[in-house]
Structure 1
Amino acid sequence: MVTIKDIAARLKVSASTVGRALADDPRISGAMKQKVHEVANEIGYVANRAARMMRGVSSNLVGLIVPDIRNNFYSTIAHALSKCLEQDGFQLTLSETDDDRAVELRHVRELISANVAGMILVPSAKLLPETVRLLKSMPHIQLLREQSSLGGQWFGLDDSKSLALAVEHLLQLGHRRIAYIGPSEELSTGASRLKGYRDELKAAHRWDAQLEMCGSPSDADFGRDALRRLLALPKPPTGVVLGGVQHTHSVVDECIALGIRVPDELSIVGYGDEAGFRWWGAGLTTISLPVSELATACGLWFLHQLRQRPAAMPRYRSVSSPTLLVRGTTRALTPSSPAAAPKRTRARAAAT
């Protein structure tokens, strides 16, 4: 293995000079630093991270903790963060919790033991006390979801507005029975999305608790089951708004499986704007979210905090706004359409 001593021998300088040059010590000239790095690259030197950690030096690793890497929402975030951080020499390391608090704690411990420079996380519904204590001991930012127990810094979306836009669109098209399939109030994001959904319908005097279907954001089967239950109601909805990317996938799949003619029999507003959503029929009407922009802003702010290294991380909140993309899965409700369409969809749902 190539060591610092090998570089020093090649340059005919002391090992301490090489070590300081590699650590970007201001006592070493820029010219010497350049020579050291050139020789290090030439002979294949790799820094000993374990030794650096023993000296209490932070690594160039930044931990990203998310609930579900199958969700394109989080993979997009990971990609944008990685590109942003690598410009300053930091490397992103990814951990998945599946919203399990014990797994989340284990990942936090492991990342701290690796002496990461900091963490960016999408927290679970209720953090364990030990997780809170550990996170407060180092730079961290909450992303999308927000836990008051952590305080500090948060980058997220206007979740209430996203569902309000979806409901408002269907109300303007004449729909009066509008259902929700999405995450529950247990999560901060779910609570905000439900609030946007309820506020719009209550203002129009059209809210019906029977039309709310709340479940886990990572449960692939929940959206399918929820849609069947809604269509089996004596008075099924004529429109559905979705509160999660995974739920959007499963509802679209179930509509295809049941042979539901969208939007003739049922109008649907999705959540998120993946490439595949544009290819379904005439395209999915959906809520577009500035995910890459949000992640990049979070990464830049994180780098700023690492450079400043304040004694206490200041409280900071950043909210990005969604937009509604109108495509082909919603249509105006005519006086004759509500009675006929639900009857056919109920029959299909009951047969499955």
Structure 2
Amino acid sequence: MVTTKDIAVHLQLSVSTVGRALADDTRISEQTKARVRQAASELGYVGNHAARMMRGAPSNVVGLVIPDIRNSFYYTIAHELSAIMAGEDYQLMLAETFDDRLIERRHLRELSASRAAGVVIAPTPSPHNDSVNLLRGMPHVQLLRRHPPLGAQWFGLDEHRALKDATTHLLDLGHTRIAYIGAQADLPTGRDRLEGYRHALHDQGISQRSDLVELGPPAQPEHARAAVRRLLDLPSPPTAVVLGSVLHTVGVLDGLLEMGVDVPGELSIVGFGDQSGFSWWGPGLTTISLPIGDVATSCGLWFIRQLNNPPAGNDPYESVSAGWLVRRGSTAAPAAAARERSA
């Protein structure tokens, strides 16, 4: 392993001069700094972060703590943030919690122990008190999900409006028996999406049927696949379904194909998220498109500024982005057969 001593011998400089040059010390001339950096690059020198941390300096690692990388929202976020951090000489470190507060606590303990520069987090439904305390000692920002005790810096989506618009689209087509399959309401995002669905029904004087609401873990497509089967087996089944999770959308689409359900002849569907395959599925999936990449980019750029120029206080900051409905062939007015199926 190449050390600062090797660089010093190569350039015939003192070890202290090399160390100061690599640390961008103002006592060293720009010409010498350039010579040292060039030699370090040519010799393959890698800085000793452990030594820097012992001197009290933070690492260049930024933690990304998310529930599940299989969700297209989160792998898009990881991709965007990784590019932004790399461009600013930070290293993104991925940690998955699977919505387990104890796993979340473990990841945050490790990030704190390694003196991470900061944390971007989509928190679990009920973070442990230790996690709250750990984050108080680290620069951090919440992304998509937010939990008030974790602070007031958040980048997210108008989930309520997105689901309200999706449900209203189905109501405008003439559907009144509209089911909802989404995340459990103990998640802030799950609660906002469910309320958007409910408010759309309420605004048009439609009574909500509890048997048309199926809530479950957002990362389990198998839950949604089973849920749509249960819904279609009801004595008075829905003529339309609106979805509140990307992976639930995948599960429902798989289930409908397995059952041979005619979409939109028997059942209209509004998905959540707009993965590339959704436009190819059947007649094309009408779905809620959300600017996840833009939200991640905005969050990353804002957080970099906070890390490079720490603010004097911890002022609240909130950025909310809107989604939009992409209309394709999976929604239509309820067919007579579907309307009369419960008769």
In the superposition, the TM-score normalised over structure 2's length comes to 0.97
Is 1:81 matched with 2:78?
no
Shift in alpha-carbon separation, 1:48–1:58, aligned structure 2, 3 A: same
Is 1:209 matched with 2:210?
yes
Q: CA deviation at 1:84?
A: 1.2
Is 1:287 matched with 2:266?
no
Contact 2:267 2:338 (C-alpha < 8 Å) held by counterparts: no
CA distance in structure 2 between the partners assigned to 1:29 and 1:119 by the alignment = 35
Superimposed CA distance per residue, residues 135-160 of structure 1 (whole angstroms, 9 cap, x where no aligned partner):
01110000001101112300000000
Larger deviation, residues 11-20 vs 246-255:
11-20
- The secondary structure found in structure 2 opposite 1:135 is helix
- The secondary structure found in structure 2 opposite 1:221 is helix
* Pairs within 5 Å for 1:258-273: 258-273=259-274
Shift in alpha-carbon separation, 1:26–1:283, aligned structure 2, 3 A: farther
Larger deviation, residues 310-319 vs 63-72:
310-319
CA distance in structure 2 between the partners assigned to 1:271 and 1:26 by the alignment = 53
Is 1:228 matched with 2:229?
yes
Contact 2:263 2:283 (C-alpha < 8 Å) held by counterparts: no
CA distance in structure 2 between the partners assigned to 1:186 and 1:26 by the alignment = 52
Superimposed CA distance per residue, residues 81-138 of structure 1 (whole angstroms, 9 cap, x where no aligned partner):
1111111111111000100000000000111111110000100000100000000111
CA distance in structure 2 between the partners assigned to 1:176 and 1:71 by the alignment = 30
Contact 1:157 1:322 (C-alpha < 8 Å) held by counterparts: yes
Aligned residue type for 2:24: D
The number of aligned residues is 342
Corresponding residue for residue 303 of structure 1: 304
Corresponding residue for residue 276 of structure 1: 277
- The secondary structure found in structure 1 opposite 2:221 is coil
Q: CA deviation at 1:312?
A: 2.7
CA distance in structure 1 between the partners assigned to 2:182 and 2:31 by the alignment = 58
Contact 1:175 1:332 (C-alpha < 8 Å) held by counterparts: yes
* Pairs within 5 Å for 1:1-352: 1-206=1-206, 207-335=208-336, 337-340=338-341
CA distance in structure 2 between the partners assigned to 1:29 and 1:286 by the alignment = 58
Contact 1:174 1:334 (C-alpha < 8 Å) held by counterparts: no
Aligned residue type for 1:256: L
Structure 2 runs not aligned, ≥5 long: none
Structure 1 runs not aligned, ≥5 long: 344-352
CA distance in structure 1 between the partners assigned to 2:26 and 2:322 by the alignment = 43
Aligned residue type for 2:255: E
Aligned residue type for 2:226: D
Corresponding residue for residue 346 of structure 1: none
Aligned residue type for 1:74: Y
Q: CA deviation at 1:26?
A: 2.8
Q: CA deviation at 1:258?
A: 0.6
Superimposed CA distance per residue, residues 145-204 of structure 1 (whole angstroms, 9 cap, x where no aligned partner):
110111230000000011011101101111111110001110000110011000010111
Larger deviation, residues 54-63 vs 318-327:
54-63
Contact 1:145 1:189 (C-alpha < 8 Å) held by counterparts: yes
Q: CA deviation at 1:339?
A: 1.5
Contact 2:4 2:18 (C-alpha < 8 Å) held by counterparts: yes
Larger deviation, residues 265-274 vs 14-23:
14-23
CA distance in structure 2 between the partners assigned to 1:158 and 1:189 by the alignment = 9
Larger deviation, residues 219-228 vs 119-128:
219-228
Q: CA deviation at 1:223?
A: 0.2
Contact 1:139 1:313 (C-alpha < 8 Å) held by counterparts: no
CA distance in structure 2 between the partners assigned to 1:251 and 1:156 by the alignment = 25
Larger deviation, residues 184-193 vs 49-58:
49-58
Aligned residue type for 2:257: I
CA distance in structure 2 between the partners assigned to 1:192 and 1:288 by the alignment = 16
Corresponding residue for residue 350 of structure 1: none
Superimposed CA distance per residue, residues 298-343 of structure 1 (whole angstroms, 9 cap, x where no aligned partner):
0000011012212332210110100000011101225554124x79
- The secondary structure found in structure 1 opposite 2:137 is coil
Q: Alignment RMSD, CA only?
A: 1.3
Q: CA deviation at 1:245?
A: 0.5
CA distance in structure 1 between the partners assigned to 2:145 and 2:320 by the alignment = 11
Q: CA deviation at 1:282?
A: 2.3
4+ aligned runs moved over 4 Å, structure 1: 334-337
Corresponding residue for residue 348 of structure 1: none
